[in-house]
Amino acid sequence: MTAAIEIDGLAKRYGAIEALGGVSVNVERGEVFGLIGPDGAGKSTLFRVLVTLLLPDGGRAAVEGLDVVKEYKKIRSRVGYMPGRFSLYPDLTVEENLRLFATLFRVTVEENYALVRGIYGQLEPFRHRRAAALSGGMKQKLALSCALIHRPSVLFLDEPTTGVDPVSREELWEMLRDLKRQGITILVSTPYMNEARLCDRVALMQSGRFLDVATPREIVERHGRTTWAARGEHMSRLLLDLRANPAVERCFAFGDRHHVTPRAGASMPRLREEMEALGHRQVEIRETLPGIEDCFIQIVGQQKQEA
Ligand code: ADP
């Protein structure tokens, strides 16, 4: 059986900007596949090519075995797409939005209601409210319901959790797992690296290229280095002093700690002493497990060194 999504050397330029520099991957049926990368990495461009809204300049891609250029009409009825910016009609009510999307795809809300019940059910009390008046989290749930109402086999979600509160984010990922159980293939993008662990596989993306494609666990196994978490009274000064220390290969701010990649032979107590000698107080350094963000920074840093 063919993969749900096949991407082979896909390229796209906007004038001088290379938004996709020849990316390749196969997404298997029923996978939750994450595109993880910062703003401008090329995630939206890849989505727009796959849902047939943008023509590629090179390479090829197919969704459910259908070519994105030659068979775009067939693809459109099989996929659900939730763009990064809200796709809803702000002046229509919640219910009118859902009915409109159903009509566009020549289905009825009633025939496919079971698929969206878990998501749309939470919005039913507000079904007469205009979409413009919904909270960010509720808008996302409505947009997801609209993207699903024609029962697509492949779902494309471009940054569904950006600008959404943490509780709604978790709920959204829970919904995606539920859709996966129903056999739907999901390609989802996010700038939040900690969401990578919720995907079956991820592509780490930067400047139109895939840095690596693997399961979240494999990414950490391949690229994870010894990582120390450091804290002190003056965090911004500590960051600069850690970076300047010869025992430190790399250091970046991570939540309320700094993550340090030590060089071979570095000693944790010695680094703490050296920070204290520079006037830092209450310095705490301990070993921590590297995450996807550490790996991302590691790979990008390595590439810069090699370039
Ligand atoms: P992401 O979704 O990861 O933020 P995009 O695919 O939106 O990335 O953008 C990739 C690159 O292409 C960025 O440098 C962006 O500025 C550029 N870009 C995106 N859309 C256009 C456009 N319509 N015209 C010109 N440049 C664009």
Is residue 173 within 8 A of residue 271, CB to CB? The reply is no
Indicate which atom in ligand 1 lies nearest the CA of residue 191.
3
Same fold, 5-219 and 226-289: no
Whether 277 shows a pLDDT value over 90: the answer reads: yes
Distance 51 CA to ligand 1 centre (A): 16
Tell me the two tokens of residue 224: 């994870």
The fraction of the chain above a pLDDT of 90, given in percent, is: 80
Nearest CA to ligand 1 atom 15: 40
CATH architecture designation of domain 5-219: 3-Layer(aba) Sandwich (3.40)
Model pLDDT for residues 85-94, shown as the tens digit of each residue: 778 999 999 9
pLDDT above 90 for 200: yes
Residues 6+ apart with CB under 8 A from 276: 283
160-165 average pLDDT score:
86
Nearest residue (by CA) to ligand 1, atom 5, is 42
**Spatial separation of the C-alpha atoms in residues 133 and 175, rounded to whole Å:** 23
State pLDDT tens for residues 19-42.
999 999 999 999 999 999 999 999
pLDDT digits (tens, 9 = 90+) for 100-153: 999 988 999 999 998 898 889 989 999 999 999 998 888 989 999 999 999 999
- Flag whether pLDDT at 55 surpasses 80: yes
* CA 185–ligand 1 middle distance (angstroms): 25
SS (HEC) of 74-85: HHHHHEEEECCC
| Protein residue whose Cα sits closest to atom 12 of ligand 1 | 19
Domain ranges for the chain = 5-219, 226-289
* pLDDT band for position 56 (cuts 50, 70, 90): very high
How many A from CA of 230 to the centre of ligand 1?
36
What is the best residue among 13, 17, 48 to mutate for testing ligand 1's pocket, by most ligand atoms within 8 Å of CB? 17
- 6 pLDDT more than 90: yes
39 lines ligand 1 (CB under 6 A): yes
226-289 carries CATH number 3.30.70.100: yes
pLDDT bracket for residue 303 (50, 70, 90): confident
Q: From the alpha carbon of 159, which atom of ligand 1 is closest?
A: 2
- Cα of 22 to ligand 1 centre, how many Å? 15
Contacts of 199 (CB under 8 A, 6+ apart): 32, 33, 34, 188, 216
Is the distance from the beta carbon of residue 40 to the nearest atom of ligand 1 less than 6 Å? yes
- Does the beta carbon of 38 sit less than 6 angstroms from any atom of ligand 1? no
Burial 159-180 (b: 16+ CB within 10 A, else e): bbbbebeeebbebbbebbeebb
Helix (H/G/I), strand (E/B), else coil: 286: strand
d(CA 120, CA 101): 14
Q: Is the pLDDT of residue 256 over 90?
A: yes
Grade residue 301 by pLDDT with cuts at 50, 70 and 90: confident
- Burial label for 196, CB within 10 Å (0-12, 13-18, 19+), is buried
